[in-house]
Amino acid sequence: MDMSFRDLVRAPNVELPGGSVRWVDESFRLLIGHFGTDALRPPAVVPGDFVPAGYDGSEAAARDLCLKVSERMGIPSERIRFSFRLEKVVEAGQLLGATIVHAYVAQTHPALRGAAPEDIAAVRKYSRLLGAASDDRLEELLEDDGLLPEIQRFAFLDFLTELIRCREIAAEPDPARQAELEQQPDRPDPGTAGSEASAAGRWTDLTYCLPGVELLPGYTAVMLGSDILTDPTVLIAAASHELGHQVLMSSDLPGAAGPLREPLTDLYAVLQGFGIAHANAALDETTLGTPTVETFGYLGERAVAEALAVYRFRQHRLIRDGPLVPEWHQALDPEPRARFLARLEELIGGPPTALGW
């Protein structure tokens, strides 16, 4: 059955096996089985109460808010490099990545020497990054920035993605399929170990060893876009997601590094109490009816609301803190609030008030 546009913009942006209700239930059970129930004991985070008074959207205020998120999640922040210029890191990383492609083909960088001749030939023939470098712009972006370790990692992973793409094209025997591969996007999500990305943020392990890239042992980086600083709810959601990678990528949780790692990381943020922020940030209602509808996250508004209902159901069963329907549900936007209440009703087999919950 085809979804309406209204449903589509609220749906997960990846297919969840068995549908969102089943996947959320099973994955939440998996997270609790692995990490325990301690995260259910504190009240859910209400963005309006969590954001410090006087938040002004500056980088300093955003950093303080990210530190609060980190503290709530129980993640030591001393070795996390928070930054708020992701778009600059991406641009500089792509330009530096193009420079690495040139060095790979010319075999001028010590870390790249000795590459297989067939790989060099494939990159020379099929790479779209050859000729894309701009030394002046790259120099401008790198000047006095302090983000070189993050930019270097982005650049090398960009280069690896391009190398893999060129290899696949060169190895494809079917001319029609080869032409199809050539037309695919320049930079698909590489899903490379040691780095996780979303539109609003990126997490990377600065200890992760890459040839010719500076190591910062014990450090990780959370890079967020400057365009979300004015909306603390989105900032909370983005920070809790990226910090979730910090936990999941270092765990042995099944699926933590698999194809559904991004929605699983959203779900982990809900478990940590940030479901309200994720639900309210999932869809910018003011962009409905415009050429570009702005959405956030991987689970989507509907599945986050369902996850928040599971969170509350399990929380209430654990600590019995008053009515099942908590006061904080009023902080949800109307659409996710309605789905939250409906899913709670499904979980207990009837309306909460009628059953005396």
- What long-range pairs does 332-337 form, CB within 8 A, spacing at least 24? 332/276, 332/279, 332/280, 332/305, 332/308, 333/279, 333/280, 333/285, 335/10, 335/283, 335/285, 335/301, 335/305, 336/279, 336/280, 336/282, 336/301, 336/302, 336/304, 336/305, 336/308, 337/305
pLDDT reported for residue 352: 63
166: which 2 tokens? Answer: 């060129």
State pTM to two decimals: 0.88
- Within 13 Å of residue 264, how many CA atoms lie on the same side as its CB? 23
44: which DSSP letter?
Answer: P
Find out whether 276 and 328 touch, Cβ atoms under 8 Å.
yes
Find out whether 98 and 201 touch, Cβ atoms under 8 Å.
no
pLDDT reported for residue 195: 43
Please state, in angstroms and rounded to a whole number, the distance separating the CA atoms of residues 346 and 324.
13
pLDDT per residue of the chain (357 residues) written in tens, 0 to 9: 456 777 788 889 889 999 999 999 999 999 999 999 999 999 999 999 999 999 999 999 999 999 999 999 999 999 999 999 999 999 999 999 999 999 999 999 888 889 999 999 999 999 988 877 777 888 888 876 789 899 989 898 899 999 999 999 999 999 999 999 998 865 544 333 344 445 689 999 998 767 767 788 899 999 999 999 999 999 999 999 999 999 999 899 988 878 899 999 999 999 999 999 999 999 987 777 788 888 889 999 999 999 999 999 999 999 999 999 999 999 999 999 999 999 999 998 866 654 445
pLDDT reported for residue 354: 47
Please state, in angstroms and rounded to a whole number, the distance separating the CA atoms of residues 344 and 340.
6
Please state, in angstroms and rounded to a whole number, the distance separating the CA atoms of residues 65 and 233.
10
pLDDT reported for residue 292: 82
